[in-house]
A and B are shown apart, each in its own frame.
Chain A
Amino acid sequence: MTIQDDTVRRTGMSVPLAPPRRLVELSIDGETIAVPEGETILTACETAGKDIPTLCYGDTLTPKNACRVCVVELEGARVLAPACSRKVEAGMVVKTDSERARHSRKLVLELLASSVDLSTTPRAAEWLESYGAEPERFGPAAAPAAIGERDKLHAGAHELPSGEAAATVHQPPKVDNELYVRDYAKCILCYKCVDACGEQWQNTFAIGVAGRGFDARISTEHNNPLPDSACVYCGNCIEVCPTGALSFKSEFDRRAEGSWDESRQTQTTTICTYCGVGCNVTLHVQDNEIVKVTSPHENPVTHGNLCIKGRFGFQHVQNRRRD
C-alpha cells in the first residue's frame, strides 16, 4: 500500500518495514536519473517519462521475458536487455530509442503481426506504424487452421512450411461457455494467463503451454473444453491478457455485432456485492449495462484478481431491467 503523506502511528510495536533502499543513478537517453535499487529499467524509463512498448510484461506478475518488444540498448552490453525485467545498476547507460533497439522492436512487431491477429491489442497499430514495421513482407498470410487443428499438433512433428505464405496461428475462436471466449488467433504466447492461473495468483493450474516452437499454444489439460477442465472462471487470465485473446463473452458478442464502443463506456470502481473480502470491481458500463468487469491492479485487496462471482456475477442487476 502506498501511504504517501500519511505516517503510521508509532506504537513501539514491531511493524515490519522493508529495509531502506538506496537510490541508484543511471543515464537514460543522456539524462541522469535516480531510482531505488531493485527497480527495473522499465520503471526507471517510466520515471524518466519514456514510452517503452510492452506486451508480455504484467504489473502484477513476475516478468516472463517472452515478447522482447521492450528491449533497450545498454552501453557496453553485448545484447539488448529486456527493460521489463532487467534491474537497474549504478552507472548504467540506457538507450531506449537507439537504431539497434528500434530495429529489434520492429522485427518483433513484424513477426507478431504477420502471424497473430493484433486487431484488439491496445496500441499495436500505433507501434507498427512508429517502428515502420512491414509484416506483409513475409508474404500473404496462410489460411486459418480449422477449429481444433492446431490443438492436435504434437511436439516434434512440425512440418516444413511451403514458404509461399506467412505461417499464422489464425483459427476460429473457442466459444464453449457463456462467460468468456478464448480467441487464440490473437494469442502471442506471453504466458501471462498461465502464470495468473498458476502459482502466481489463482493456483488453479487449469491451463499450460502445449506443443513446441511455432506449434506451441495455451491449452487446458488434454485440450478439454473449459467446462470439462479445472477452470473455475475467475477470469484472472482475462485480466492480464494483453491482446484480447481472452475476453468476456459480452465483449466478444458485442464486437461481433459491431456494438462494442469503448468511447461510450464508463469505468467505475466499486465493491463486489458478494462475500466480505471487499474486492474492488471496476465496472465497464456501456448504455447503462455492465459489459466487462476488471479489478484495479494496485489495489491491496485484489491486486487485480477476482473470483467467478466478482467477475461474472453481476447479471442479476441488469436482469431486473428486463423482467
Chain B
Amino acid sequence: MFGAGGGTSSYQEIEETDVIVMWGSNARETHPIFFHHLLKGVRNGARLFVVDPRRTSSAKWADRWLGLNVGTDIALANAVAREIIHAGLYNETFVRRATTGFEELKAAVEPWTLEVAAQETGVPADSIRELAHAYARADRAQICWTLGITEHHNATDNVRALINLSLLTGHVGRYGSGLNPLRGQNNVQGGGDMGAIPNRLAGFQDILDPEVRQKFGSAWGVEIQPRYGKHLTQMLEAMDEGTLTSVYCIGENPAQSEADAGHTIKRLKGLDHLVVQDIFLTRTAELADVVLPAAAAWCESDGTVTNSERRVQRVRKALDPPPGARDDIDIICEIARRMGHDWNHPSAEDIWNEVRSLSPMHYGMTYERLERLHGIQWPCFSLDELEPTYLHHRLWEADPDKRGEPAPFKAVEHALPVDVLDDDFPLRMTTGRRLDSYNTGVQSSGYDSPLRRGETLDLGPEDAEQLGVTEGELVRIVSRRGSIIAPVRLDTALRRGLVFMTFHFPDEIDVNALTIEATDPIAGTSEYKATAVRVERLSRAEAEKGLIAQRKQAQDRAALAR
C-alpha cells in the first residue's frame, strides 16, 4: 500500500496517543511487552477499543470490546468507514491531497449501514458508531493488528480495509497516529527487510526494477532473475504439481505448522531432495534427506533482527552451540564453497555492511550506532542523523512534489470464511497462542511453565450446556478434514457458537489436522482463524479408545517421517 512493509509508528507513540484500536490481536498474551507500552497509553488517557471474537485478556482492558463474528472484519471496517464519511468526520483535506480512490471507497462502503453491519458482524450498531466517531475525532489514533486480521483467506483485503480507515481520517504519517501490524516472530520483519520474500531484494527494492537488479548483480557478480519467486503456499502447490522438487528449509517446521498438516507431510515426502537446517530435529527435519544442525540464531550467533517498530537490533552470541551445530552463516558459506563459490567466511558484521552498501534504508546503521542507540528504526539513510520514528510523513507535505505519490484507497468486499458453517459443522473454531507457549511448541515446550495446561477445546458455558459437556470431559472435534480428541475447558471469553484451540501441542493433539488450507491469494497465509467444526460427546470407552488411536497416529506420523 505504502511501498515498504512495516508498522508506521513506534512503541513510544502508542504511549502518547488518544485512541487505540486493537483489531484481531490479543497482545496482552501474544505481545506482552508491547502491551506494557499500550497500558502506559491507556493510563495516559487513551481510549482502548478491542475488536476480537473472543473477550480476551486484552479486551478486559478496553473501554469497548467489539466481539465480532469470525471473518466479518471487512464488514465492520466498511461500516466504520461509512459512518465516518456520513458523519462528515473524514479528513477532507488529507483525502483530497494525499489519497486516490475515495469515490470508489465511498460507493463500496455505502451498503454497510450500522444496522446491516450489526446484523452481519454481531457487533451492536452503537458500538460500531462509537468506534467510528472516537477514531475519527481523535487527534492521534493507532490501529494495531495481528494474526486475527492476517490468518484469513482474504488477509490482504482485511489489512486494506484497516488502511482505508487510517487514510480517511489522516491517522497515518504523524507522530502518535499510525498502523501497527505486530509481528509474530522475532525476525519476521527483518526477513522481509532483508529480501527473504519472493518479490523484493534487501530494503524492499523491487526485483523487477532493472536498476535494482543491476546494483545487486554487479555487487554479487551474478545476473539476478527478472521475476518474482514463490511464497510458501505457492511452493507447497508447486510440490503438488511436481515443479518444485528440492527444498532447503531453514528454521521452519511446516510439517506441523501448516494448515492441513497431513497434506503438507505428503508433499514433503514427495520431494526428490529435502534439506532442513534447524536447531532441533523437528518433524520436518525427520522427513529430510540431509539435516544441518544449526546454532540458535538468537543466542549462539551474532547478527541483527528487526522488531515490529522497524527497530534493527543486535543479536549477540552468549553461548557456544552444542557439538556439531554450526552458525547459519558458516553452513551457508560452506555449501557455497562446495558449489564453487568461496565467500571467505565473512563475519556477521561484514555481511551487515554489505546490506548497508546495497540498501539505502539501512545505510546509517553501523554496528557501533546500533549498539549506542539501542537499535535504530528504519529507514536510516544517514550516518549522523535519524529519521522520525513514524513513516509516511511526506503525505502531509503541502508541496505536491514533496508529497509524492498519493496513497490509494482500495475498496474491498466482505467475504465470509471459506469453511462455511452448516448443520453438520455448526461451530466456528478459531486458533491462537497462549501467553506461555509459542507456535508448535518446539521452543516453548522446553521450559516448565506453571501456567501450561496442555491442549484443550475451549468453549463458552452456553455451548457446553447445550452440548451437555463439562470441564475436563474428552470430546471429539470434527472438521471437514479430520477429527481429534481433546478435553473441554470452559471459558467465558467465548460467545455462543465460538470455540478456541491453540496449536502448541501438535505431538499430543494435532489441531492443524482440522484447519483449512484456504489461503490468501496475495500473502499466501492460511485461514487458521476460521474452521467449521462440530463437537461430539464420547462414552468413556470411546474416549479411551480414541485417545489411544490418536497417540498411535502421532507416533505413526513420526515413524512415517523417519
- Whether B185 is near chain A, meaning CB under 8 Å from some CB there, is yes
In the assembled complex, the Cα of A315 lies from the Cα of B222 at a distance in Å of 42
Once bound together, how far apart are the Cα atoms of A272 and B316, in whole Å?
A: 11
Q: In the complex, what residues of A have CB within 8 A of residue B384's CB?
A: 5-7
- For the complex, is A119 an interface residue (Cβ under 8 Å from B)? no
**Mask of B299-323 contacts with A, CB within 8 angstroms, 1/0:** 1100001111101011111111010
Measured CA separation A277–B39 after assembly (Å):
15
Cβ contact of B308, chosen from A12, A274, A277, cutoff 8 A: A277
Instruction: Compute how far the CA of A78 lies from the CA of B347 in the bound complex, rounded to whole angstroms.
Output: 62
Closest chain A residue to B443 by CB distance? A316
Q: Does B367 contact A (CB under 8 A)?
A: no
Within 8 A of A (CB), among B311-358: 311, 313-320, 322, 325
Quick check: which of B66-74, B369-377, B538-546 contacts chain A, the rest being far away? B369-377
Inter-subunit contact B374/A299 (CB<8 Å): yes
Minimum Cβ distance to chain A for residue B165 (Å): 21
A317/B450 contact (C-beta < 8 A), A13-B393, A234-B32 known? no
User: Which residues of chain B are near A276, meaning CB under 8 Å?
Assistant: 31, 182-189, 307-308
Check B446–A315 contact: CB distance below 8 A.
yes
Task: Spot the interface stretch: B128-136, B199-207, B434-442.
Answer: B434-442
Given contacts A271-B313, A276-B185, A321 and B322 within 8 Å (CB-CB):
yes
| Pairwise interchain contact B451-A1, C-beta atoms closer than 8 A | no
The reply to whether the CB of A312 lies closer than 8 angstroms to some CB of chain B is yes
- Check A283–B299 contact: CB distance below 8 A: yes
Chain B interface size range:
35 or more
In the complex, the answer to whether B388 meets A9 with C-beta atoms within 8 Å is: yes
A158 to B449, CA, bound (A): 38
Is the beta-carbon distance between A301 and B11 smaller than 8 angstroms? yes
Contact for A317 among B296, B306, B393, B445, CB less than 8 A:
B296
- Beyond A268-B316, A299-B374, is A6–B436 a contact (Cβ under 8 Å)? no
Cβ of B448 under 8 Å from chain A = yes
Is B444 a contact of A268 with CB atoms below 8 Å? no
Provided the pairs A14-B174, A320-B325 are in contact, do residues A268 and B318 lie with their beta carbons within 8 angstroms? yes
Which one of B183, B298, B393, B396 contacts A273 once the chains associate, using CB atoms below 8 Å?
B298
B307/A9 in contact, CB under 8 A: no
> B residues within 8 A CB of A272?
186, 298
- Bound complex: CA A5 to CA B36 (Å): 29
Among A34-42, A129-137, A197-205, the one that faces the other chain is: A197-205
Chain A contact residues: helix, strand, loop or mixed: loop
Q: Which of A308-323 contact B (CB under 8 A)?
A: 308-310, 312-321
- What is the CA–CA distance of A178 and B447 in the complex, to the nearest angstrom? 9
Q: How far is the CA of A117 from the CA of B338 in the complex (A)?
A: 61
A1-44 contacts to B (CB < 8 Å): 1-9, 11-16
Determine if B175 is an interface residue (Cβ-Cβ < 8 Å). yes
A81 within 8 A of B: no
Q: Does A62 have its Cβ within 8 Å of any Cβ on chain B?
A: no
In the bound complex, do residue A278 and residue B385 qualify as a contact, i.e. CB atoms below 8 Å apart?
A: no
Q: Tell me, rounded to whole Å, the shortest Cβ–Cβ distance linking A155 to chain B.
A: 29
**Cβ contacts under 8 Å, A65 to chain B:** none
Interface string of B362-396 (1 = CB under 8 A from A): 00000001001111000000101111110001001
Asked if A290 lies at the interface with its beta carbon under 8 angstroms from chain B, I say yes
Residues of B within 8 A of A233 (CB): 436, 449-451
* Contact pick for A8, options B184, B387, B442, B444, CB 8 Å: B387
A115 at the B interface (CB under 8 A): no
Give the A-B contact count at a CB cut-off of 8 A.
216
Chain A proximity mask over B6-28: 1 for CB below 8 Å, otherwise 0: 00000110001000000000000
Within A211-244, which residues are at the interface with B (CB < 8 Å)? 226-227, 231-234
Q: Is the CB of A309 within 8 A of B444?
A: yes
Residues in A with CB closer than 8 Å to B385 are 6-9
B238 / chain A contacts, CB cutoff of 8 Å: none
In the complex, what distance in Å separates the CA atom of A145 from the CA atom of B315? 46
Q: Is residue A54 within 8 Å, beta carbon to beta carbon, of the partner chain?
A: no
A285 within 8 A of B: yes
Does B512 touch A at the CB level, under 8 Å?
no
Cα A279 to Cα B298 with chains together (Å): 11
Residue of B nearest to A229 (CB): B450
Decide yes or no whether B113 CB sits under 8 A from chain A. no
Does A306 lie within 8 Å of B322, measured CB to CB? no
Q: Does A80 contact B (CB under 8 A)?
A: no
User: Is the Cβ of A11 less than 8 Å from the Cβ of B16?
Assistant: no
Known contacts A268-B316, A268-B318; is-contact A316 B186 (Cβ 8 Å): no
Mask, B160-199, CB within 8 Å of A = 1, is 0000000000000111100000111111110000000000
**A305 at the binding interface (Cβ < 8 Å):** yes
* Whole-angstrom CA separation of A299 from B314 in the bound complex: 13
Considering only CB atoms, which chain A residue lies closest to B308 in the complex? A276
Is A108 on the interface with B (CB-CB < 8 A)?
no
Is A269 in the interface zone, CB < 8 Å from B?
A: yes
CA distance A270 to B176 in the complex (A): 28
B103 to chain A, nearest CB (A): 28
Query: Is A266 among interface residues, defined by CB-CB distance under 8 A?
Result: yes
Of the residues A15, A270, A283, contact of B314 by C-beta under 8 Å: A270
Residues of chain B within 8 A of A259, CB atoms compared: none
Given A278-B307, A317-B279, A317-B300, CB of A270 within 8 Å of CB of B318: yes
Closest to B311 in A: A278
Residue A307, interface by CB 8 Å = yes
Nearest-Cβ distance from residue A182 to partner chain B, whole angstroms: 13
Would you call B31 and A275 a contact (CB within 8 A)? yes
CB-CB under 8 A from B503, the residues of chain A are none
Partner of A275, one of B185, B396, B450: B185
Minimum C-beta distance from A253 to chain B (A):
13
Is A302 an interface position by the 8 A CB rule? yes
The CA-CA distance from A8 to B435 in the complex, in Å, is 36
Asked whether, in the complex, the Cβ of B444 is within 8 Å of the Cβ of A313, the reply is yes
Contact of A307 among B33, B174, B305, B448 (CB under 8 A): B33
- A300: CB under 8 A from chain B? yes
- B306 neighbours in A (Cβ, 8 Å): 278
| A46 at the binding interface (Cβ < 8 Å) | no
Is B33 within 8 A of A285, CB to CB?
Answer: no
Q: Is A114 positioned at the interface, with any CB of B under 8 Å from its CB?
A: no
10 residue pairs from A and B, CB less than 8 Å apart:
A4-B372, A15-B389, A271-B314, A274-B185, A278-B306, A290-B299, A301-B309, A309-B444, A313-B438, A313-B447
Given contacts A283-B318, A305-B33, 8 further A-B contacts (CB under 8 A): A2-B373, A3-B373, A6-B384, A275-B30, A276-B182, A278-B311, A279-B33, A316-B443
> Residues of A with Cβ closer than 8 Å to B?
1-9, 11-16, 177-179, 199, 201-203, 226-227, 231-234, 266, 268-280, 283, 285, 288-290, 296, 298-303, 305-310, 312-321
| 10 A-B pairs with least C-beta separation | A278-B307, A276-B183, A316-B446, A268-B318, A307-B32, A178-B448, A273-B298, A315-B447, A283-B318, A315-B446
